[in-house]
Structure 1
Amino acid sequence: MSAFFAFLHHLAFLTMTTVLTIQLVVLGQPLTLQSARKLQIVDRVLGIAAVALLIVGFLRVFYFEKGAAYYFHNAAFHAKLTLFAIAALLSIYPTVQFLHWRKSLKQGQVPQLAEQQRRRMRLIVHAELTALVGMALCAALMAKGIGVIH
């Protein structure tokens, strides 16, 4: 059972990485009706994957693996949670923008996206991906017992 939850945890992480990469690529191109819809869809997938990552991660901490005491006494674990929180907070801005597009998309119109907004969203997605890379590093450190607080 532990291996299955590890698989789900990794799958959610890879899904987040993939979806953010898709957002980055799509935001680097001129916005079309199709690409705006794609951004809305992948943003929903990102939210679902993030919730899955968090839930499965906490199930692993409390019911599988090394136990909660090990993780809560590990600096890398705290750093990983902090990076997750940063990525989650950063994702609010693009999500709100995508939600504002609903009316335009329902009317079959390409949403307005100012160049400054597009650049800001790309910068945010870059930062989110950087946070995920940091989370992967923290996970590797935790797996090797690095960061234990005595």
Structure 2
Amino acid sequence: MLTDALLAFLHFTAIFVLVTLMAAEAVVLRPDMPPSAVRRLSQYDFFYFLSAMVVLATGLLRLFYGAKGVDFYLHNPWFHAKITVFVLIALATLPPTFAFARWRKQSLKLPEFVPTPAEIKKVRRWVMIEAHAFILLPLCAVMMARGIGIH
């Protein structure tokens, strides 16, 4: 029981860190973004990736070592929906990650580099897609935890 509680705590903490970093990216991605923000976005994105890996790792640990056991989750359609949403969000992070890497490279060559407002808008749209898709994860989680949909 203690293991399950600690894994849940670590999982939720990693999720909160991930959401905070996603929000930070969205806040910084503005047309009037200063050059220093380009470097900050790269850092946020790196820590976003790390927190996503911790979310995944703690989720897998909960799957295999949590109180409910693997069989509960593998036969639960909401578990599969949650994993699908997580993968879709991960795919949506790729365009911003690639853009941040390009921008960082540019900023190393030209310290005053700032992407165009159109580029910023395009990347911010992807971050907002991630944020809106993220809302589905708690829905899947509560449905899954209550065994809804298991026959």
- One-letter code aligned to 1:83: V
CA distance in 2 between counterparts of 1:86 and 1:110 reads 34
Q: For residues 1-150 of structure 1, what are the structure 2 equivalents within 5 Å?
A: 1-107=3-109, 109-148=111-150, 150=151
Q: TM-score, normalised by structure 1?
A: 0.92
CA distance in 2 between counterparts of 1:147 and 1:65 reads 19
- One-letter code aligned to 2:27: V
Q: TM-score, normalised by structure 2?
A: 0.91
Check 1:135–1:67 CA distance in 2 against 1; reply closer, same or farther (3 A cut).
same
Check 1:111–1:75 CA distance in 2 against 1; reply closer, same or farther (3 A cut).
farther
Contact 1:91–1:128 under 8 Å retained in 2: yes
Task: Report the aligned-residue RMSD.
Answer: 1.5
After superposing on structure 2, the runs of 4+ consecutive aligned residues of structure 1 that deviate more than 4 Å are none
How far the C-alpha of 1:105 sits from its partner, in A, is 2.8
Deviates most, 95-104 or 9-18: 95-104
How far the C-alpha of 1:29 sits from its partner, in A, is 4.5
Q: Map Cα deviations across residues 71-90 of structure 1 (whole Å, 9 max, x no partner).
A: 11111111110110001001
* Structure 2 spans left out of the alignment, 5+ residues: none
Deviates most, 77-86 or 139-148: 139-148
How far the C-alpha of 1:56 sits from its partner, in A, is 0.8
SS, match of residue 135 in structure 2: helix
- One-letter code aligned to 1:13: I
Aligned length: 149
Work out the percentage of aligned pairs sharing the same amino acid.
35
Q: Map Cα deviations across residues 6-39 of structure 1 (whole Å, 9 max, x no partner).
A: 1110011111111111111110252212211111
Contact 1:36–1:110 under 8 Å retained in 2: no
CA distance in 2 between counterparts of 1:46 and 1:73 reads 30
- One-letter code aligned to 1:138: C
